[in-house]
Structure 1
Amino acid sequence: MCCDWAISIRRACGALNFDRSTHHYTSRRADQAGLERRIREICEIRVRYGYRRVHVLLEREGWGTNIKRTYRIYRDLGLQLRNKTPKRRVKAKLREDRHMAVGPNDVWAMDFVHDQLAIGKKLRVLTVVDTFSRYVPVLDPRHSYRGEDVVQTLERVCQKAGYPKTIRVDQGTEFVSRDLDLWAYSKGVTLDFSRPGKPTDNAFIEAFNGRFRAECLNQHWFLTLADAREKMEDWRRYYNEERPHGAIGNKVPISLVNSGCATSPPP
């Protein structure tokens, strides 16, 4: 307006009812790129530190910032700790974005399915699926499961099928156990936990469990535990070697695992 109408700043501000002090204000805020970079570096190393502990470290290093500024930058960078992780869970995946599996044994998904024998005795079936090939390395029914039983089953299967890089699981007691965390740590496997109450975080295994229940569990009576294992193993081999899967171009899962379409490894 000053240039177009050749008037002073005082008259222009008066016409617009705009405070001249606001017009003349110059920000004195220092460049915070370095501070942002340091906060991100701290959080990459200390993944369980909240903004208060980050601020303490910044004070020790002489950054001279107040805690409100630290919190604002911490929040803007998206570093909030949204989920509490149980103690001793060393191999939990934290503050990392998920990536699509790029090959077999890259990402597995694991969960439990409940059923019962014909006499009414309960069954718990450990289901595992490879999210890249949709290959099912194991279906293991038992009357009850503990963390050490999950480790035993995984170790037996992985010795034949190979160890995955990541396993997606929910917050079940068997999956947050010390036994499974120690096994994952020793084998270099990352446990990627779903958020509580968010089954869509592990959608691959949820979709598989629906097919497993509709095509196997609802189609059979299981007389004994041995009978359940036999029928589930037959269905697992059918699923891996014969059943076309729409998500992988109507191929069979085993074709993405073995180039020669070899049969599934024994349980």
Structure 2
Amino acid sequence: MVSGNHKLSVRRQCALLTLARSNLYYEPKGESAENLRFMAIIDKQFLETPWYGSRQIARHMKRNTHACGRHRVRRLMRLMRLVPIYQEPNTSKKHPQHKIWPYLLRNVAIDRPNQVWCADITYIPMRRGFLYLVAIMDWFSRKVLAWRLSNSMDAAFCIEALKEALAKHGTPEICNTDQGSQFTSGDWIDVLTEAKIKISMDGKGRWIDNRMIERLWRSLKYECVYLHAFEKGSEAKTGIGKWLAYYNAERPHSTHGILTPNEAYASKTEPTRLAA
């Protein structure tokens, strides 16, 4: 009996304890020190030139005397989930057996909160490894509704963030994502369909949609992640949480003039609160 319990997998233990798996996995994912250094260089360059593919990044590395050829650049970019903004459907790594849903936002005027949400994943460099961060954003207000960190690219941490956003902020009409395997997984789709949310996925000619949340990633990394060089997952969680709280509550977004994302979100969902 005892020996059987010792053989329980981590997944079964988590299920028995009803704990979210991503909450247990804040240990940064590892790579060699050299690869981590290259990944940091690639990430910074990609934020400046998001249209660069592996060939252009490899040229950049060579020009700056970094011994990192195209094959290694390609592998690291895949690991970091960096996909250049080509005007074609290759928005992220797809799962060959998952259904791709149509794009629903063409010629749609997005003029109110909870009309459209979007979600995306980014790579978070750390002193001795890296994590992945997912954010759920309200498209109109640019408010970050929920987020999660993980050291794996399965769909679980994305679903946790989505469920939190739904619990705290209600139900959007449409949820738009890229075609990444996390967002085409059955578990992610089930949450949306059960909540009667229309599913939209970026496709051909819609690369520009991703630029909205890419601006969030750029600001987060330059104003928080790169400055602190987090060593532990718990430190990254605290630091990123503080910055996102500042972003929502104190940082006016250019789209809404002097209004912060929180104020823009509240201005139409709860107009009396802002007027008071």
**TM-score, length basis structure 2:** 0.58
2:119 corresponds to 1:110? yes
Cα separation, 2, equivalents of 1:212 and 1:99: 28
Unaligned runs of 5+ in 2: 1-87
Cα separation, 2, equivalents of 1:254 and 1:155: 20
Equivalent residues of 2:125, 2:225 under 8 A apart: no
Equivalent residues of 1:127, 1:138 under 8 A apart: yes
Higher relative CO (CA 8 A, sep ≥ 6), structure 1 or 2?
2
Cα separation, 1, equivalents of 2:106 and 2:89: 14
Equivalent residues of 1:137, 1:157 under 8 A apart: yes
Equivalent residues of 1:195, 1:201 under 8 A apart: no
- Residues 140-155 of structure 1: pairs in structure 2 closer than 5 A: 140-155=148-163
Q: Please give the secondary structure, in 1, of the residue aligned with 2:136.
A: strand
User: Percent identity among equivalent residues?
Assistant: 25
Cα separation, 2, equivalents of 1:211 and 1:112: 15
Unaligned runs of 5+ in 1: 1-81, 263-267
Cα separation, 1, equivalents of 2:105 and 2:255: 26
Cα separation, 1, equivalents of 2:239 and 2:171: 26
Work out which of the two has the higher radius of gyration on C-alpha atoms and give 1 or 2: 1
2:135 corresponds to 1:157? no
Equivalent residues of 1:111, 1:169 under 8 A apart: yes
2:171 corresponds to 1:126? no
- Following TM superposition, the consecutive aligned residue runs of length 4 or more in structure 1 with deviations greater than 4 angstroms are 82-88
2:190 corresponds to 1:182? yes
- Residues 4-23 of structure 1: pairs in structure 2 closer than 5 A: none
2:259 corresponds to 1:251? yes
Cα separation, 1, equivalents of 2:97 and 2:115: 26
Q: Please give the secondary structure, in 1, of the residue aligned with 2:229.
A: coil
Q: What are the superposed Cα offsets for residues 30-76 of structure 1, whole Å, 9 maximum, x if unpaired?
A: xxxxxxxxxxxxxxxxxxxxxxxxxxxxxxxxxxxxxxxxxxxxxxx
Equivalent residues of 1:115, 1:122 under 8 A apart: yes
Cα separation, 2, equivalents of 1:162 and 1:244: 23
Higher helix share: 2
Cα separation, 2, equivalents of 1:101 and 1:197: 18
State the match for 1:29 in structure 2: none
Q: Note the C-alpha offset of 1:101.
A: 1.6
Give the root-mean-square deviation of aligned CA atoms.
2.8
